[in-house]
Amino acid sequence: MNVVVDIADLAVSKDPESTLITFSLGSCIGVTIWDPVAKVGGMLHYMLPEATVSPEKAKKTPAMFCDTGVPKLFRSAYELGAVKRRLVVKVAGGSQLMDAAGTFNIGKRNYLA
């Protein structure tokens, strides 16, 4: 069963029938984690590096930001039995879109976060 991780969302699963997928990363970042022993996997699709730009949104939607979404992703995986030292972590995304001058540089800022 496919589990779609939307923008500013995360999912964690221990179900061997689940496949976590996301679409259209663009300047967003996708973070995946996998514990091969516990067979726990997770995915985060965050939009912005720091929750300080909107603390109220961060409380409501922590997966929108790197600094609130990544800890939540890891905590959720640990709750299902994942162990930090066994985790395989991969990151994708962070492109620069429609900002040729690099004024906002969201993709790069997301990657560096």
Q: What is the dihedral of CA 52, 13, 82, 49, to 10 degrees?
A: -20
Catalytic, out of 5, 10, 11, 28: 28
In the residue annotation, 66 being an active-site residue is answered as no
What distance lies between CA 59 and its chain's CA centroid? 16
- 44, 47, 48: which is closest to 20 by C-alpha? 44
Active site residues: 28
